[in-house]
Structure 1
């Protein structure tokens, strides 16, 4: 059954979607649009949701209404809206209507809905946008200053360790897994990823490893436990550091492993045999790549190795991050193409030895995390709130689609600190 075209909120909103709305839509005024026999649809349940959509046309307004519970998705679980979102993605960039069309839209939807409601509490506005009156110190000024980075990391990673245990699983690893086979489990793939990084770095007993942006210490523990290296991990998340240190003690790795709550720029030790950076480059800012890789060059021994693992764009064209991702998921996050990463690594004096793309592995990883969120939905909502759980389902499903469609990728870049032409690297890769 197809809803009859006519006046009302649903047909008016549906008309804003470029190429038409691929789902059905119902609104609180009783109107509907689209084929109501389709398995997926949306329901706008109140006026606040309409105000969100009208005052932030496109993905941000739709996300605000969805996170707040004012826009309900039918036919898909909120922990994994992938089946429905895969139809909707790329259809949310509302076009700019002409003057006469705009008048008709405003007349149909009501001028009163042009007053923006307060955004949902899950939305993050960085300090420079909404707290200029209360700057604690000059460290908060400037994108990717230490204060801004700490604030952004706190927003995303200090949600709740228990919440992350439900979503990530026992490995507590929030980075792309590497699947040795198509039917490997998420946990098997995460262990395989850590072991691959260790082999790429050619870690040997007694060596020293610095793991920058170590999260909950998965790489730290794996390298210490299975390769006998002395490992220092650093993270800007206090919650992560606390959890990681407790797990290190629980596994009896105190003599080899340490996770420190610290900005990597505060690390004073040097002379490391290897440096791993797994999922951090996305947070440091493209303009800071030279300083970042120069720091790594400075703390490495001659012939030491570096492995950089990060999300990349499919090209090297500079683009802004989408409003939803910036406000709700990764404040101040920036992505670049792998060529930009390689250039920055080389310009810092490191010699690139190997470069590999794991794009399809990240799509599988995200599918696993979404399934964990579905399986533990009630516990995740109880640990945080329903709006936060909705954010995670939406962002992970959307990211899965982006990886599947080659809009974003995941690259390993392996490099050595070669001195006087001596890299210490074998004739052929041995991992």
Structure 2
């Protein structure tokens, strides 16, 4: 994210110069010029500031506007993605030429063009004199920001049941209405499957659920455990389309409430039970299949072994597990950056599909198939951004302007991450093979 977000706005003043940061003849600081001087490759968009100063190409269709001294303080006291996110969430940093619900075009332009250089000691002294010492006092973060990792470590063990519940609540309990505007009718907050470029988001989410069901070879009368069930999309698909009995669990109380109501409205009470429950508290066993769609990102890499061991223990012989989660293009554990950790997924941690396969195998599962849906997630994020733009006023009314702006930034930046192969999405299909019998045919049936 640190290279994704640096830009301006409709309120940008045309006054002021684009100089290198000296005070003008009237004695006021040239904020835009000073900030622009810190970018190694120059400023590819128009940068304006509250003091009337400007920098960058005057004919740029995209721009950034610093509305206040606080915006500048956020940027210089937390360099990189965190400072940008703070200024963006607070509304002190605005953009022109792009909608705040979808700054993708802006991020795409800036991604490869801008990098902050580290000023030397002498230049730091000049910056303090030019911008004033108050600029270097960190402002209070916006209310959307979660505690830093070290504070969370002090207050509770990482990935304990209590702390995981808190992290899930921070992200998923924004508002069911907000999510319905962004995600659409499917209420599926996971990568969709686009069988062709013209598929709608709703069609692609249906196809994703159906791919999971077909990989698991679901059939009438079987029992499915759906862990991290979200709003119940997979559970209801399995029951409605395949006649499966589903036990589904989520750590989010608002998701469970929504899903339970949706199950009643669909007339599926006899087939689907959605619980507000940690997957580690499920006591039933002998399931024919388990689906885990978007849960593993919250588990923690060090807990992969116990995660797969627990789920294997819930399967009957020849039972199947489909694990669907975001991955890295390498197999080293990697924590989320400061922006994602504080504003989106507290305690989020990813690694590569190789590590996932290894942990599943070491837990006694036979891995029979893996698939990377990276490009599909970029398309999914594109469509979520479009929904956010279309329902911008409703989303702002529901969750506040700061939260809506954070979501626009997060979705657009994540889309770029998937497009550039910085992050991936893998489905891993595994079986509880017993005495060499996996119950599968000779070729993938789906």
- TM-score, normalising length: structure 2: 0.92
Match of residue 256 from structure 1 = 271
The 2-side partners of 1:88 and 1:16 are apart by 15
Match of residue 116 from structure 1 = 138
Residue 315 of structure 1: which of 330, 336, 340 is its match?
330
Q: 1:423 to 1:219 in 2, by over 3 A?
A: same
Match of residue 26 from structure 1 = 48
1:309-355 deviations in Å (ceiling 9; x for gaps) = 00111112333311100000000001111111111111111111110
The 1-side partners of 2:354 and 2:41 are apart by 34
Contact 2:41 2:114 in 1 (8 A): no
1:125-159 deviations in Å (ceiling 9; x for gaps) = 16861696xx6xxxxx2111111111110010000
Contact 1:43 1:73 in 2 (8 A): yes
Contact 2:333 2:349 in 1 (8 A): no
Contact 2:227 2:279 in 1 (8 A): yes
Which sections of structure 1, spanning at least 5 residues, go unmatched? Answer: 136-140
Match of residue 271 from structure 1 = 286
Residue 168 of structure 1: which of 179, 183, 191 is its match?
183
Matching of residues 220-369 of structure 1 within 5 Å: 220-369=235-384
Q: 1:99 to 1:379 in 2, by over 3 A?
A: same
The 2-side partners of 1:130 and 1:145 are apart by 12
Residue 98 of structure 1: which of 97, 100, 120 is its match?
120
The 2-side partners of 1:304 and 1:411 are apart by 20
SS in 2 for 1:167: helix
- TM-score, normalising length: structure 1: 0.95
SS in 1 for 2:429: strand
Contact 1:312 1:335 in 2 (8 A): yes
SS in 1 for 2:107: helix
Match of residue 165 from structure 2 = 150
Taking only aligned residues, the RMSD between alpha carbons, in angstroms, comes to 1.6
The 2-side partners of 1:331 and 1:24 are apart by 33
SS in 1 for 2:260: helix
Match of residue 87 from structure 2 = 65
Q: 1:343 to 1:93 in 2, by over 3 A?
A: farther
In the TM superposition, residue 58 of structure 1 has moved relative to its aligned partner by 1.3
In the TM superposition, residue 48 of structure 1 has moved relative to its aligned partner by 1.0
Aligned residues: 424
Contact 1:225 1:253 in 2 (8 A): yes
Verify: 1:16 aligned to 2:16, yes or no: no
Match of residue 427 from structure 1 = 442
